[in-house]
Structures are given as C-alpha cells and as structure tokens.
C-alpha cells in the first residue's frame, strides 16, 4: 500500500525532526529575543527547516505518483491507474504539463529529470496538478492537503526566506506574524519559535503536527 507507506515515512521523519527541534529549544530559556540565537544555531535550524520541507514535499510527490499509477487508500479503497501512467516518468511529465496549463494532452511527455519537477510541497501547485490529472482519489487528497494549507504555506515562506534571505523575504515572514505571539526577528529561522496561540506550542512544532494530520487525512 504505497500511500500508507508514504505516510509512515512522513510520520517517522517528522517525529524525528520534531525531537531535534524540541531538544534545541530545551537548551534555551523562554525564547523571546533574536539575541538568544547564535550563528551556529541559525545554521542548525536552517538545516532542520529544510529537512522538514523536503519531507513534506517527498510525501506529496509520493501521493501523486501512487495515485496516478494505481494504489489502495488507508481505508482500503482501490484507486485505478490513469491511462498513460505506466511509471513515475510518465506521471512526472504529466504533472509538469498540468502545472503549466489545463490544455490537453498532459500525458505522453515522460520526464526523468527531477530538477524539472514542480515544488511538490506547494499546495497551490498540487491543486492544479491533481485537479487537472484527476486521479480517482483527487478529492480526498486535496481535502487532506487543504487541511494543512496554512501551516505548509507558513513553513514554505520561512524556508524561502532562509534560502533567499533579503528584505523582501523577511517582509513576507513578518506579514504572517499577526497569527502568532511573536518577538522581533533578524533571521527567518527565529520565526520558527513564535508561539501558536491556540496550542501554546512553537510555530514549527505545531506545523509538524498539522502536516501529519493533513497527511493522514489525504491518504484515507
């Protein structure tokens, strides 16, 4: 069951990353200032954030691949393979075409270069791909992914800020600050430790929990 296996990997990897994040935080007093982060802290957190984002993207890719190639959901529902989907290269090419345009055909243009593939963790991209390729469980996948939309987008904004640090990406991060209990930041990774008011948890660990819940819902 490819979908169940994909979720198992998501859950295991995110749980491991959450342990590292909490271990980091446990060595600090209450985090309320950018002065509490060293340069090495920021490097560590940037790496952890990248791994979280890669883990989510890999899960989303696995779900699209399995659903187009044919699979069984966690509830035992059989999803038939789509015509034209013989292997991952077929699905990869179709996803690239579907991201760019609704115009048919999407199939018949296999791709084997992973660097050409879409940003799998981007839920706006997934909405276009799944809506246009329409595997049998597209509605369930989209409903599950959508339940984690805000958290995934928040992590994406912070990760993009860390990867492309400039005044504009910092402004993008500060634009989402109203949803959290915050302190001023001077590096994107500091925002990971803003507090989610609903759970009193860190932004990053709350996001991890919500992504796991979204993943579980997506494969049902």
Q: Is the pLDDT of residue 1 over 90?
A: no
| 113-169 residue pLDDT tens | 999 999 999 999 999 999 999 999 999 999 999 999 999 999 999 999 999 999 999
Residue showing tokens 């246009």? 132
Nearest to 133 by CA among 173, 104, 109, 167: 104
Running DSSP on this structure, what letter comes out for residue 163? H
192, 21 in Cβ contact below 8 A? yes
pLDDT at position 46, please? 98
pLDDT digits (tens, 9 = 90+) for 54-89: 999 999 999 999 999 999 999 999 999 999 999 999
pTM given for the model? 0.96
The SS3 of residue 124 is helix
Per-residue confidence (pLDDT) for residue 51, from 0 to 100: 98
pLDDT surpasses 90 at 108: yes
What pLDDT is stored for residue 128 in this prediction? Answer: 97
DSSP-derived secondary structure letter, 212: H
Closest CA to 36 of 46, 47, 44, 25: 25
CA within 13 Å, CB half, 38: 7
């Amino acid at each position: 069951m490819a979908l169940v296996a994909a979720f198992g990997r998501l859950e295991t990897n995110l749980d491991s990353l959450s342990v590292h994040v909490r271990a980091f935080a446990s060595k600090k007093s209450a985090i309320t200032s950018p002065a509490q982060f060293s340069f090495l802290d920021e490097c560590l957190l940037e790496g952890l954030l990248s791994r979280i984002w890669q883990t989510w993207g890999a899960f989303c890719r696995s779900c699209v691949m399995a659903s187009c190639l044919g699979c069984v959901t966690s509830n035992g529902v059989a999803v038939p393979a789509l015509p034209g989907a013989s292997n991952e290269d077929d699905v990869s090419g179709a996803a690239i075409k579907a991201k760019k345009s609704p115009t048919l055909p999407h199939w018949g243009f296999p791709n084997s270069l992973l660097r050409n593939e879409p940003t799998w963790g981007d839920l706006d991209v997934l909405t276009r791909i799944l809506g246009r390729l329409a595997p049998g469980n597209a509605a369930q996948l989209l409903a599950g992914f959508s339940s984690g939309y805000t958290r995934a987008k928040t992590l994406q904004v912070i990760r993009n800020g860390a990867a492309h640090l400039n005044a504009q990406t910092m402004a993008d991060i500060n634009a989402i600050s109203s949803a959290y209990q915050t302190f001023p930041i001077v590096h994107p990774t500091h925002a990971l430790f803003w507090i989610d008011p609903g759970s009193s948890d860190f932004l990053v660990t709350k996001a991890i929990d919500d992504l796991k819940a979204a993943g579980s819902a997506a494969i049902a």
